Amino acid sequence: MTSSQELFDRAKTLMPGGVNSPVRAFGQVGGTPRFMVDAKGPYITDADGREYVDLVCSWGPALLGHSHPDVLAAVHAAVDHGLSFGASTPAESELAMLVKGRVPGVEHLRMVSTGTEATMTAVRLARGYTGRDLIVKFAGCYHGHLDSLLAAAGSGLATLALPGSAGVTAATAAQTLVLPYNDLAAVEAAFAAHGERIAAVITEAAPANMGVVTPGEGFNAGLSRITTAHGALLIFDEVLTGFRTGPAGYWGLTGAEEGWTPDLFTFGKVIGGGLPTAALGGRLDVMDYLAPLGPVYQAGTLSGNPVAMAAGVATLTAATSSVYEIVDARSLELSAALSTALAAEGVDHSVQRAGNLFSVAFGTGAHGVHNYDDAQAQEVFRYAPFFHSMLDSGVYLPPSVFEAWFLSGAHDDAAMNRIFEALPAAAKAAASA
């Protein structure tokens, strides 16, 4: 029996499903989840000493690769001064300045510990600021596990084929309007019907939790226009895309060029460099509606934790334009190689792209995936054999077809070649599924 199997068996006696986050249980792909003990650069090593090229990158944070020397040094230095003070620290402002320097629409910022807290606070703030109750979200977009946004939420719910979560009251669900992604006419219609009551539209800057979906030309700009026209807020969820799809996230690739800015942004993952930090930020008048200045309450014992701030500052400082050039280039190389390998085996697929994010969808034909219905209509069964073939060849992919593949600035030629060599056999496995 492998160590991972023994560890999983023990974990199952202690934790629901043996995990602390559902997709880690390998529910869609089957088999034994690998228990990880070490990660450096583009590699991650399991409890049996097997090394994998890592295409999960902690689900996004490891933009620089694992254990980047600057980040580890900053964390070690911070640790030597204490782990948590429960008081303000200089590093919080340093990280806020780095964020603001990249995303000028972030006039004020509030640090929290997880992406879920960031979106939860943004939703409460939007309601408090506008005095309205309804929130619009898009099917297939995941914003964390807050009650009001768990309907048709992608990510682990897509993996487990759940329409929503038990435990969310009908009253809460009724305050969320779920619309099809990439459909501005549906947004216009929702505002025509309920415009006076809609506090905010929340959207993933580019969806990556139903697999990756490209926001259609003008979609995000249209959301900005419609929300502004109706006095509602646009919450641009960059928890996954922020500081990953470019120095200024997905907004930097779209809004910055097109001349629109969301009212609120949410960030997570890269901003904490692998430690638990996330944030919301945006318009001064909206952000200052938060306590202690305003009536919307939010707080956190570990918010702005000094060790996490040090990791975030070191990560954003080391994430120079050359890191983004590497990730962009590797993303193009890998998605092309993936497509070539699948085409060679006659596997109907689309490689879904948004900036440097990508994922694969099977059986989607030339049409590809534009919304949650498309994502759910795909041949999910082809992913498990594909995934396990890659795993056997030493490549660690996300254990669900509904997740993006993550690269880092540390994915060098040696790591990429290992992935390329693994692809033909995996494509064959997908073909014969």
| Binding site residues, ligand PMP, CB under 6 A | 59, 114-116, 119, 142-144, 155, 204, 209, 237, 239-240, 268, 278
Burial of 348 (0-12, 13-18, 19+ CB in 10 A): middle
Minimum CB separation of residue 431 from ligand PMP in Å reads: 30
Name the one residue in this structure whose structure tokens are 């334009």. 321
In terms of CB distance, is 301 or 321 closer to ligand PMP? 301
> Would you call 263 a catalytic residue per the annotation?
no
The answer to whether residues 290 and 110 touch, using CB atoms and an 8 Å cutoff, is yes
Catalytic residue among 269, 324, 374, 428, which? 269
Cα gap 291→299, rounded to integer Å: 8
Minimum CB separation of residue 231 from ligand PMP in Å reads: 25
Residues 98-119: b if buried by 16+ CB within 10 A, e if exposed? bbbebbebbbbbbbbbbbbbbb
In terms of CB distance, is 56 or 316 closer to ligand PMP? 56
> Would you call 142 a catalytic residue per the annotation?
yes
In terms of CB distance, is 3 or 165 closer to ligand PMP? 165
Strand, coil or helix: 36:
strand
Whether omega for the bond prior to residue 292 falls within 30 degrees of 0, making it cis, is yes
Catalytic residue among 54, 129, 137, 237, which? 237
In terms of CB distance, is 209 or 350 closer to ligand PMP? 209
Cα gap 262→255, rounded to integer Å: 8
* Cα angle for residues 419, 423, 428 (degrees, 5° grid): 160
The answer to whether residues 408 and 62 touch, using CB atoms and an 8 Å cutoff, is yes
Q: Which sign, positive or negative, has the C-alpha torsion 290, 291, 295, 301?
A: positive
Non-local CB neighbours of 139 within 8 Å, separated by 6+ positions: 151, 152, 154, 178, 179, 180, 181, 371, 372, 373
In terms of CB distance, is 92 or 204 closer to ligand PMP? 204
Minimum CB separation of residue 235 from ligand PMP in Å reads: 10
Catalytic residue among 142, 181, 289, 372, which? 142
Minimum CB separation of residue 406 from ligand PMP in Å reads: 11
Minimum CB separation of residue 144 from ligand PMP in Å reads: 3
> Would you call 269 a catalytic residue per the annotation?
yes
In terms of CB distance, is 59 or 243 closer to ligand PMP? 59
Name the one residue in this structure whose structure tokens are 């590093």. 91
Minimum CB separation of residue 303 from ligand PMP in Å reads: 14
The CB-nearest residue to ligand PMP is 115
Strand ranges in 268-389 using DSSP code E only, listed in sequence order: 278-282, 349-354, 357-362
Q: What tokens were used for 104? A: 């000028």
Catalytically active residues are: 142, 237, 269
